[in-house]
């Protein structure tokens, strides 16, 4: 999950008109899961990112398509955050945590985002107390 300096999360709308975290399936040239996340976010939003720790993994049953495992990673932008809409989403937007309950967002994503934001806030708190 890409979090900007304001702790807003980047989401895109999928063909089911749901907001979702950016990402996707690995390709043969992806050496690591983090490489997949970096490539996918760049393809879907035109943003270079640094990928951090795994936040959460959960299953999502997509109607008519089957079950997928969703693994979320903490990520931050490297440089410019001008969004470039790719082919995968109808829209891209950053959301503050308090806005998540007011959008069509599958609960697994909502949970992962909250876990990630809490983890990042705890890490920032530890850094200021060191």
Q: Tokens 């008519």 appear where?
A: 64
What residues contact 3, with CB distance under 8 A and at least 6 apart? 9, 10, 74, 75, 76, 116, 117, 120
Query: 22-53 pLDDT, tens per residue?
Result: 999 999 999 999 999 999 999 999 999 999 99
Query: Per the structure block, which two tokens stand in for 31?
Result: 């050496």
Query: 55-85 pLDDT, tens per residue?
Result: 999 999 988 889 999 999 999 999 888 899 9
**Cβ 45 vs Cβ 85: under 8 Å:** yes
Q: What is the pTM of this model?
A: 0.91
């Amino acid at each position: 999950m890409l979090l900007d300096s304001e702790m807003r999360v980047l989401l895109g709308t999928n063909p089911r008109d749901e907001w979702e975290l950016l990402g996707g399936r690995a390709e043969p040239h992806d050496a690591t899961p983090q490489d997949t996340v970096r490539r996918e976010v760049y393809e879907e939003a035109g943003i270079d990112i640094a990928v951090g720790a795994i936040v959460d993994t959960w299953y999502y049953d997509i109607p008519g398509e089957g079950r997928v495992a969703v693994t979320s990673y903490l990520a931050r932008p490297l440089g410019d955050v001008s969004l470039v809409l790719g082919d995968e989403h109808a829209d891209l937007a950053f959301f503050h945590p308090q806005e998540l309950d007011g959008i069509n967002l599958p609960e697994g994503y909502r949970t992962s985002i909250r876990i990630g934001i809490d983890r990042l806030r705890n890490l920032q708190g530890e850094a200021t107390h060191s």
